[in-house]
Amino acid sequence: MSRTKISGAIATVSALALLAACTPSSSDPSDTRDDATSAEVSPAPEFRIGTVADDAGEADDSAEASASPTATDGPVGETAPTGGDIDVDAGKRLVLSVDGAVLKDVSLVDPDHPKIAVDPGTFVDAAGAELETDDQPTAGGLTSTEEDTDAPSPAATSAPESSESPTADSGGDAENTVTAPDSAAGWTSDFDLVADSTYEVSATATTPDGKDHDFEATATVAASDAEPMTMRTVLSDDQTVGVAAPIILTFGSTVAKEYRDDVEHRLSVDVTDEDGKKREVEGSWAWLPNDPESRLHFRPKEYWPAYSKVSVDAPVKNVPMADGRVGANDLTLDVEIGREQVTEASAKTHRMTVTRDGKEVMDFPTSLGSAKAPSYNGTHVVMSKHANYTMTSARWGYTTPVQWAVRIHNNGEFVHAAPWSAGVQGSQNVSHGCINLTTQRAKEYYDSAIYGDPVIIKDSSVDLSTEDSDISDWVYSWDEWKKLSALN
């Protein structure tokens, strides 16, 4: 979460928190807090709801409240009775405070999209200082790991490893609730409110007499006249893909960096086995360099477990994406992960092996890139297949038709039939970077390959870079990949 957003939240909630701090515990001015007796019945607390903009605490004045974040100018937001409704503006963050009590917990839920991760928000104390929370969820969904077996109902492996979070689940209010730290007097959501949405807000506050008071309200967000930005995926529903296939989302334009956390926060990825039982998979979203539009990829830390179903929920319609731009559409995707087929080709041994579900099914002599045009070390991914394809290279000056071509990288690397090099396959590297096989062997591999299969080249003199391909996901180390998340 950006420091700009957090500082804005603290500044706004400070005004609300200070009001709570000034609430006397007795009508007698000579009494102090220490002298107050817990046996006295405290008046019911007063809850207030407002909104704050991302830029340094510019507050919303839609409720005829002061827009200043300072206590001397009065409270921000409006008093809201439990069960009431309030209208709020899109593209801002919700502020909740309580007078005459301390917050015990808070929940902000979009009931139309129950898989969205819990918004942990930012708590402040009566002096307006940010409070640390222990073992609280952070946005973006749970990074599922075997160690997190006690975590509530993960919506996905959709956050960085450092962002372990339960997600909103309509089946249990406790899973939507963020527990407040001691002395909490105010809370601000970490993420912008989405236009044309209705949120359910709930909280519990404890008065000085030790009694808990529950609060519920509905926050309705007005529609937006911002220009829509589309989001698409390169995969198709029910497509069967290999274990290295990333989930790829592309946008119709550039998603501004300050809004990427709002987009990513709403995404979830569920992984289940063939019987529909949830599988624990650690993974993360990453914003890759614009090409020229924004690209958002999800990959697991290791390969997907074979014979799984991956379900993606991306409710980004009306989510802010840039100044004057919002998401045009929601998106869902269900793909099947097929068998685990891993190909390895060595520039040293001149062999290409294919392992399927742990069993070696092919071991072919091959020829890789020559010394002047070496193949690239690293994990490639099957991107497409062509029974007939014409290879062209301005650099090397050739135009060559080939059969059974399997593209594994956008730098021109393929696995393909090369009958002209059959005599040296298994002993020399003579290609322009491709993996050469005889026609029969190339056809056998072609028939077995599917989009997303990993192809690992090793023992060459050059390495893949992260800038060369549409699918460079596996070139990044896991730590590097996690840093590309907007939620990290």
SS (H, E, C) 365-431: ECECECCCCCCEEEEEECCEEEEEEEEEECCCCEEEEEEEEEECCCCCCEEEECHHHCCCCCCCCCE
The one catalytic residue in 213, 409, 416, 432 is 416
329 token code pair: 């559409």
Strands 178-179 and 84-88: unpaired
Report the alpha-carbon distance of residue 331 to residue 318 in Å, rounded. 12
pLDDT at 469: 85
Annotated catalytic residue: which of 350, 380, 409, 434?
434
Kindly give the confidence (pLDDT) of every residue in the chain, 488 residues in length, as a single tens digit, with 9 standing for 90 and above: 444 444 444 444 444 444 444 444 444 444 444 444 445 888 999 999 999 886 533 444 343 333 333 333 445 578 888 998 999 999 999 999 999 999 999 999 999 999 999 999 999 987 788 998 865 444 344 443 333 333 333 334 443 333 333 333 333 356 789 999 999 999 999 999 999 999 999 999 999 999 999 999 999 999 999 999 999 999 999 999 999 999 999 999 999 999 999 999 999 999 999 999 999 999 999 999 998 999 999 999 999 999 999 999 999 999 999 999 999 999 999 999 999 999 999 999 999 999 999 999 999 999 999 999 999 999 999 999 999 999 887 777 789 999 999 999 998 899 999 999 999 999 999 999 999 999 999 999 999 999 999 999 999 999 999 987 889 999 999 999 999 999 98
Listing from the earlier edge strand, what are the strands of the sheet with 93-99?
A: 78-79, 46-52, 93-99, 186-188, 122-124
pTM of the model: 0.83
C-beta atoms surrounding 134 within 10 Å: 6
State the pLDDT at residue 78: 80
pLDDT, residue 39, reads: 57
* Helix runs in 144-268, H state only: 260-265
Question: Residue 262: which region, alpha, beta or left (left: phi > 0; alpha: psi -120 to 50)?
Answer: alpha
Strand arrangement of the beta sheet that strand 308-314 belongs to:
240-241, 331-337, 308-314, 268-272
Element (H, E) at 178: strand 178-179
Nearest to 315, CA basis, from 176, 145, 484, 114: 114
Q: Give the Cβ contact number of residue 86 at 10 Å.
A: 21
What's the Cα-to-Cα distance from 150 to each of 28, 165, 166, 421, rounded to whole Å? 49, 12, 10, 57
Q: What is the pLDDT of residue 40?
A: 81
Active site residue 416: yes
Instruction: Fill in the DSSP letter of residue 175.
Output: G
How many residues appear in the chain? 488
Known catalytic residue at 22: no
Which candidate, 223, 225, 185, places its Cα nearest to that of 205? 185
Q: Exposed (0-12), middle (13-18) or buried (19+): which is 99, by Cβ within 10 Å?
A: buried
Structure tokens at 379: 């994990």
Q: Are 138 and 122 in contact (CB under 8 A)?
A: no
Question: Which CB contacts under 8 angstroms, 24+ apart, belong to 235-241?
Answer: 235/333, 235/335, 236/335, 237/333, 237/334, 237/335, 238/334, 238/335, 238/336, 239/335, 239/336, 239/451, 240/335, 240/336, 240/337, 240/338, 240/450, 241/335, 241/336, 241/337, 241/338, 241/450, 241/451, 241/452
Per-residue pLDDT at 172:
37
Q: Specify the DSSP class assigned to residue 59.
A: B
**CA atoms of 41 and 100, how far apart (whole Å):** 12
Amino acid 16: pLDDT:
46
